[in-house]
Every structure is written in structure tokens, then in C-alpha cells.
Amino acid sequence: MQIRWRLVASMAVLATGIAAGAQGQHVHGGSSSAPTSTGSGITITMDELHRAGGVPPGWRFSWPGGDAAKGREVFAKLECYQCHEVKGETFPAVAPDPSRRGPALSGMGDHHPAEYFAESIVNPNAVIVAGPGHTGPDGRSIMPDYRDSLTLAETIDLVAYLRTLTGGDEQGAHHAMEPMAREQTAGRYRVRLAYQAPGGADGHRHDGGHQHGPASPAASGHLMVFVVDVTTGEPLPYLPVSATLRSEGGAPRVVRLAPMLGGTGFHYGADVTVPATTKTITVAIGKPTVPLMPSAAAGLGAGAQVRFDWSQ
């Protein structure tokens, strides 16, 4: 029998460890230097942490990686296949039950970040997706709440497994409703690449919110690049941004991206269809087109280049 609140207790232990680590970084006498970003995270003194309001500038919670193979075992133990279909898997067959059938998970790993999956597992009513397969007669999510029956390690591994479910049934994974996205960090640049395929299940374009109306067969997709300063957490305007699309056996195609505002916020975008044969997309960020103060010149003055594997 699972012990209640094991997940909550584990999170408390994790939080204690993080706090202890932060205290270990405290420099007596204080420091006026800015926080630094390393390959494993942000380094900051306790004094700087307090002055910044309790969290480092630009900080956000990042879900840790896990063991996908163990996560599959957790998926089977919870019998998640009773409600969610995963094409290509060998879970036991179940009799269809519309009252408890949730969305297919094939291909879902490309459409949501790890933090979203984690929240759906431990707090499924934080985001309620309206419609059959998501919402019950009471208007709440039909997804069970697993916070009392999973350890933190099991939750991390389960999320890792869900993140491997890529490239499956596009219709089942609501490909037309959610943009495919990937994210990397290069120096002080956090670069998120997102793509909305042509059309949409609701008959509208999903291109950042700047165009609506019935989708035509010839409608293009929309490529979006979000660029954020990892130190401040702020979007970075005034950058020349381009994307190079490479397909196996084909010539590279360079797409110039323009600054845009839409329902998804500020981004650099272009109406373009990314072919299914695309293997990589390389985002090139040039030197800012506005003067830089000395405090920003070192980290932002040279631009960056980030390569995304689009075949996975």
C-alpha cells in the first residue's frame, strides 16, 4: 500500500536540499556581482537572492530528467493504458469505455514541456481542457490525482517516459491544436523554437494570434522563435534572427524571421511550412541592432547559433 503524501514529503526534502545548497553558496560580506549561469544552473549568493525577491532574475522551475524505462513501468503499474492509448506499445488490451477514455498519448511528448506533464499528474485540475475525453459532467478533469500514490522519483520517471512519446499519431496528439516546440540555452540566450502546422482543428490559424479565419488547403504553417535573456527572464527584441531548414538530400533553406506580437507573446516568426522531411533547424541570432551597455555586451554582443534536431 502506498504511503499517503509521499510525493509531497519528497518535494519538501527536495526543497530543503535546494535551500541548503543555496546557503552553502553564501559569501560572507556580500557581493555586488550579477548571478552567473552555468551548465548545471544559476550560481548566486544568498544576499543577491534576497535582493532579487527570493528567486534569481530570470529563474523558473525546471523539471529534472528521469529514467524513461522506469517511467514506462510506472505507467503500466498505474494502468494508465486503461484510459490512454499509446500506439506501438504492448500494454494489455482494454474494452472501450467512453466515460473514462482520455486523449491518446501517441506523439504527445512533442507538444508539452515536462512541467506541464508533471502538473497534470499531481494536480490535474490546474488546467482543465474542455471537451470529451478531458472533462467530466461536473466540469472537472477526468484525470485522477496521483499525488498520494506516487513518489517523487516515480513521478520524474513517468514524465520522462511521456516525453519520449514523440512522432506518433498526429491526430491523436492534437498536432493541429498545439505547436511543436523545442528549447535550448546558449550562453545568455534561451531559445525556444515552435512550429504550428497549417490549419487547425477549430478552423483557425494558430500563428501567434495575429491572423484568424477559415484555413485554406494552401495555408502555410507558422514558425516561431522566442528569445529570452536567461539572466533577466525578459524577451530580447532588436535581434536579427533567421532559421535554416535542412532536409536529407535537399538544399538548405534560409528563412528570415520578423519580430511579431501575438497571443503567444513577443516572438520572431514567419509564415512558412516546415516539410516533414526536415532533419534540422538551425536558429542564428545576430548582434543586437541597438547599442549595448557594458553589463550586457559580454553576454549578448556576439549573438548565438542553436541547432535543433527536428527528426526526433
The CATH number given to whatever domain includes residue 289 is 2.60.40.2480
Same domain as 92, residue 14: no
Considering only CA atoms, give the Rg of the chain. 22
Q: How far is CA 115 from CA 14, 61, 63, 129, in A?
A: 16, 8, 6, 16
8 A C-beta contact, residue 103 and residue 134: yes
Query: Is there a domain that residue 174 lies in?
Result: no
What cell was used for 295?
Answer: 553589463
- DSSP SS3 for 83: coil
Query: Is there a domain that residue 224 lies in?
Result: yes
Q: Can you say whether the dihedral through the CA atoms of 186, 220, 176, 215 is positive or negative?
A: positive
What cell was used for 99?
Answer: 466515460
pLDDT at 226: 93
pLDDT at 27: 34
Query: Is there a domain that residue 1 lies in?
Result: no
Same domain as 188, residue 159: no
pLDDT at 168: 53
With a CB cutoff of 8 Å and minimum separation 6, the contacts of 229 are: 58, 188, 189, 190, 235, 236, 300
Same domain as 279, residue 204: yes
Query: Is there a domain that residue 169 lies in?
Result: no
Query: Is there a domain that residue 109 lies in?
Result: yes
pLDDT at 290: 92
pLDDT at 201: 36
d(CA 48, CA 18): 16
What cell was used for 188?
Answer: 545568455
Same domain as 299, residue 204: yes
pLDDT at 177: 39
Backbone angles phi, psi at 116, to 5 degrees: -70, -45
Same domain as 214, residue 114: no
Same domain as 299, residue 186: yes
Query: Is there a domain that residue 168 lies in?
Result: no
d(CA 290, CA 25): 35
pLDDT at 312: 54
Same domain as 146, residue 233: no
Same domain as 194, residue 302: yes
Q: How far is CA 271 from the centre of its chain?
A: 22
d(CA 269, CA 255): 9
Query: Is there a domain that residue 173 lies in?
Result: no
d(CA 133, CA 112): 18
The boundaries of the domain holding residue 13 are: 6-51
Query: Is there a domain that residue 275 lies in?
Result: yes
Q: How many domains does the chain have?
A: 3
Same domain as 189, residue 129: no
What cell was used for 130?
Answer: 474542455
Same domain as 139, residue 96: yes
Which of 103, 132, 163 lies at the terminal end of a domain, its last residue? Answer: 163
The CATH number given to whatever domain includes residue 155 is 1.10.760.10
d(CA 241, CA 287): 9
Q: What is the pLDDT along the chain (312 residues), one digit of tens a residue?
A: 343 445 444 444 444 444 444 333 333 334 445 555 555 567 888 988 888 888 887 777 888 889 999 999 999 999 998 888 888 888 988 887 777 788 888 888 877 888 989 999 999 999 888 877 888 888 888 888 888 889 999 999 999 999 998 865 444 444 433 455 688 888 889 899 988 888 643 333 333 334 434 444 456 889 999 999 888 888 999 999 999 999 987 899 999 999 998 777 899 999 999 988 899 999 999 999 999 888 888 888 888 999 998 875
pLDDT at 157: 95
Segments of 103-188 assigned E as strands: 180-186
